[in-house]
Structure 1
Amino acid sequence: GLFARVCREILKGKVEFEEMYVDAAAANLVRDPTRFDVIVTTNVYGDILSDEASQIAGSLGLAPSANIGDEKSMFEPVHGAAFDIAGRGIVNPTAFLLSISMMLYQLYEKSKNVAYMSAHKSLENAISEVYKRGIKLTQDVGGNAKSSEFIDEIYKYIQ
């Protein structure tokens, strides 16, 4: 109750929000993922819902994340360490690379240094181009490329 009560107090009058139980949120994510913009929840429920949402998008390997604070921020893939496929060269690095892109954008927002914005756009555009072309994709998204082959393909489109 404390978490929900504090969220209500902080958000009231500032943003439109809807409360729902985690099982309803999970069902609604599957039914209509566009219904959600931001989900505020505790860590355990957030971990479950973010894994579900990334699978709806196609793979855990596609989902970046950011915890952005006033002074410090942290950027990382949603999927964590993926110990089950570690060392096999088949992990999809997209979430990691998109997390870096988000970090570059945040650095731009803080500093207004256009080099950060250029790097952010270049990385996102390169990733997008590889997916559009469907070349050298990893197994989790229907390809058969190794991680290093996928990264080499992205590198070709970095400006």
Structure 2
Amino acid sequence: MEPLTSFANNQPNVPLSIPTFVPPTLRDSERYHVFLSYSSTDYQWTHSVIPQLESCGLRICYNERDFLPGRTVLDNMSECIQESQKVLLVLSSEFVRSRWCLLEANMSLFRDCLERKPVVPVLLESGVSVPLHLCHLTYLEAKDPDFMYKLLKVLSLCLCEVCNFE
């Protein structure tokens, strides 16, 4: 990621301090900052992002690690979404074809309506036919050069340091 720059004082290349991202405080009913919903075909991309988010202190919930054996998939989904502050939907052509992924998306939207817990869509590939019930959500694009910065800004608290203009 390139350093942020400021155009103050007609100095277009004065570097700003890099912001520090801090995970938000979890409430009593929350175990995770983010529930990650994705198609198994997007495993490689998704699992390259998880360590980056966790290295910033975010607690990420995803099915392979956090779903409890012996419980129904539906119960695991419901509980993990309920125990998360936000839901990250990794939208790809396979995601929108998967009934399980769309069920997670619907459960997340319903919970957002009831409790105002945001759903954050990430468009993994261009040309994805986003389902009508998700079209109203503003999404992040995974191919954006500033994707990780924008994602952390949405999921974390940003403690931006004051710039020094000398």
TM-score (norm 2): 0.29
Which structure has more relative contact order (CA 8 Å, sep 6+)? It is 2
TM-score (norm 1): 0.30
Higher helix share: 1
